Structure 1
Amino acid sequence: MPEPTTQSRIVDAPSGAIELRWAAATDTGRRRDSNQDAVLAEYPLFIVADGMGGHIGGEIASASAVDRLRAVAERGVVTPEDIEEALERAVGDIADHPETTDDGTGTTVTGVYLDIVDGEPQWITLNIGDSRVYLLRDEAIAQVTTDHSVVQELVAAGRLSPEEAEQHPYGNVITRAVGPSDGVTPDYVRLDVVDGDRFVICSDGLTKELTDYGILHFLLENADPAAAVTAMMHAALENGGRDNVTIIVLDAHFAASASDAPEAAGPGESSPVAD
C-alpha cells in the first residue's frame, strides 16, 4: 500500500474559515485477488465505493460511480441533485458495460461533503449500502450512516443483537446498491460543523476487522489524518484483511481566513486554496 499523505485546504465561509485536512488509502487486503473498492477524496466530496458482482463487475461498478462523482467534485459545489444525477449516469455506465451482465453487479456509495447553507457551513453525509461514515466529537465516536443490509434490518426489528450481527452468515448481503437494477437515491444526514470534527469514511473491509472502539483508539492516538489512516489500515490487515479495505480520515478546524493562510504547506500537504 502506498503511504497516504495529508492534504489540506482553507475554506472561507461567512461565519468563518475552516481548515480541512484529509488522507485516504485503499488496499486489496490479504485474501482477495483484486481490489473492487474505489475512493474519491477531492474537496468538497469524500466518497468510498465498494463494488460487488464478481471480479470484473465490482471493479467496474465502483470505478463508474467514483468517476461520475469526481466530475461533481470538480465543480466545487455539490448538491443532492448533483449526486443523484451522477449516480444515475453511473447506473447507465454499469448497465452498458459488456463485462457487467450479472444482475448482482453494483456498488456501495458512502461519503460526506461540505455544504454552505445560508452562510453556515454544514456537513452532508450520503449512503447507499453498507460502507460507513463515522464522526468523532469530544473523544466519542458515532456511526452517522445506517447500513442497508439484511442484518441491520434484523437488528432494527429486534430480532438480532449488534453482537450477533457481526457474526451472522448474511453479513455481506446488502439491500440497496448502485447497479443496473437498483435505485440510486442515497440517505442523507445534515450536521452542523463543529470545531474539531473528525470523520472516518470506510468500506466494510475495515469494520470487519476493527470494532468502533478500535477505530476510536487509532483516531485518538494519531492526530495527523495520514497517520490515522495508516494505523487503521495496518491493524485491519494484521487482524486478517479478509476484504478490500478503504479508509478516508477527514478533519475540520476553525482557522484564520484563507487570505491570511501561509502560502506554503507543510511536508506532504497541498497548499491551502480559498473556496
Structure 2
Amino acid sequence: MPEVSTESLAVPVPGGVLELSWAALTDTGRRREVNQDAMFASYPLFVVADGMGGHVGGEIASASTIERLRAVADSGHVSTKTIEKALARAVKDIASHPEATDDGTGTTVTGVFLDTTGDAPHWVTLNIGDSRVYLVRDGAIVQITTDHSVVQELVAAGRLSPEEAENHPYGNVITRAVGPSEGVTPDYVRLDVIEGDRFVICSDGLTKELTDYGIRHFLDENSDPADAAAAMLEAALENGGRDNITVIVLDVGRPATVAEDGSAADDDSTVDHGSSPAGE
C-alpha cells in the first residue's frame, strides 16, 4: 500500500477564507504490470488521467496530459480556456511521441478546480472519458460527471439497465479521449461551494471494484481524506484490483468570513445547493 498523507490549505476567496484538505493515491493493482494512471492534486486543480494504448502508449498519454495540466495549475490561471489549450498541447505531445503513434493511444481525464474569478467561488468539474468525479453532499453521493462510453450511451438510450451495464462486455470501450482525435473539449459542470462537501476523483479501476454505495461507506467511515483514500484503495484491491486504481479525496471545510478588522470568523450562512453547466 502506497503511503499517503492529508494536505491542507486555507484559500483566500471573495469575502473570506476556504479550508480545503485532500489526499491522493495510485496503485498498479493486482493484474496489471504497469500503472497507466497519472494524477495531479494541488490547489486549485485536482485531476486523474487513465491512459490506454498498450504498456508504453497509455503511460505516455496520461503522463503528457497531467504534465500539461500541472503547468496550467503552476501558472495560477486555471480556467476552461487554459485547460483546453493544455489538452490540445497534450494531444500534440502524444501524437509526436515515437512510442505512442498508435491511433488507440490516449487517455481519459477528469477532475475539479476552484474558480475564484467571480463574486463567489465555484467548483468546476471537467471530464473526458470514463474516469469519474463524485460529490457527497448532505449524506448523498452523486456522480457529477457522465461517462463517455458505449455502455453509458446504451443506458441513456434505455437499452441497458445500470445493473446490466456493470458487467457488459463493452464496459471498457470509451467514446471520447485525449489523444485519438483533435476534439478534446471536456464536459463541464459548475457547482456551488458548500461546507462539508467531499469530492472523489477516480479512475475506473476504483469503480470497477466499488459501487457508489461502497465509496460513500468508506467516506462515512473515514473523516480524514488520507484514511478514506487508503480504505477505498485497500477495498478495491481486495475485490480484485483488476485495473490500475487512482483516487483523490477532496474535502471542503467551513468557510471563514473576514471581518472589517481583518480577523476571521465562522460563517454560518448557507449557499444554494444547485449546479449548472460551467459558463451559464
What does residue 273 of structure 1 align with? none
What does residue 120 of structure 1 align with? 120
What does residue 46 of structure 1 align with? 46
Q: 1:168 to 1:93 in 2, by over 3 A?
A: same
Q: 1:35 to 1:75 in 2, by over 3 A?
A: same
What does residue 231 of structure 1 align with? 231
- Deviations along 1:113-135, one digit per CA (max 9) or x if unpaired, are 00014220100000000000000
Q: What SS class does the counterpart of residue 67 from structure 2 fall into? A: helix
Matched ranges for 1:63-102 at <5 A = 63-102=63-102
Q: CA deviation at 1:140?
A: 0.6
- Deviations along 1:182-202, one digit per CA (max 9) or x if unpaired, are 411000000110111100000
- Deviations along 1:150-179, one digit per CA (max 9) or x if unpaired, are 000000000000000000000000000000
Q: Percent identity among equivalent residues?
A: 74
What does residue 273 of structure 2 align with? none
CA distance in 2, matches of 1:95, 1:164: 36
Q: What SS class does the counterpart of residue 74 from structure 1 fall into? A: helix
Q: Which moves more between the two structures, 111-120 or 47-56?
A: 111-120
Q: CA deviation at 1:101?
A: 1.4
- Deviations along 1:208-241, one digit per CA (max 9) or x if unpaired, are 0000000000000000000000000000000000
CA distance in 2, matches of 1:257, 1:64: 39
Aligned length, in residue pairs: 261
Structure 1 portions without partners, runs of 5+: 262-275
CA distance in 1, matches of 2:75, 2:222: 32
Aligned letter for 2:173? V
Q: Does 1:190 align with 2:190?
A: yes
Q: What SS class does the counterpart of residue 241 from structure 1 fall into? A: coil
Q: Does 1:10 align with 2:10?
A: yes
Verify the 8 A CA contact 2:15 2:257 in the aligned structure 1. Answer: no
Verify the 8 A CA contact 1:88 1:184 in the aligned structure 2. Answer: yes
Aligned letter for 2:194? V
CA distance in 2, matches of 1:129, 1:244: 15
What does residue 28 of structure 1 align with? 28
- Deviations along 1:53-75, one digit per CA (max 9) or x if unpaired, are 00000000000000000000112
Aligned letter for 1:80? T
RMSD of aligned alpha carbons: 1.3
Q: CA deviation at 1:76?
A: 2.3
Q: 1:62 to 1:17 in 2, by over 3 A?
A: same
Q: What SS class does the counterpart of residue 118 from structure 1 fall into? A: coil
Which of structure 1's runs of 4+ aligned residues deviate more than 3 A? Answer: 255-261
Aligned letter for 1:141? I
Q: CA deviation at 1:3?
A: 1.4
Aligned letter for 1:225? P
Q: Which moves more between the two structures, 169-178 or 5-14?
A: 5-14
CA distance in 2, matches of 1:180, 1:106: 6
What does residue 164 of structure 1 align with? 164
Aligned letter for 2:191? L
Aligned letter for 1:234? E
Q: CA deviation at 1:254?
A: 2.1
What does residue 209 of structure 2 align with? 209
Q: CA deviation at 1:141?
A: 0.2
TM-score (norm 1): 0.92
TM-score (norm 2): 0.91
Verify the 8 A CA contact 1:94 1:180 in the aligned structure 2. Answer: no
Structure 2 portions without partners, runs of 5+: 265-280
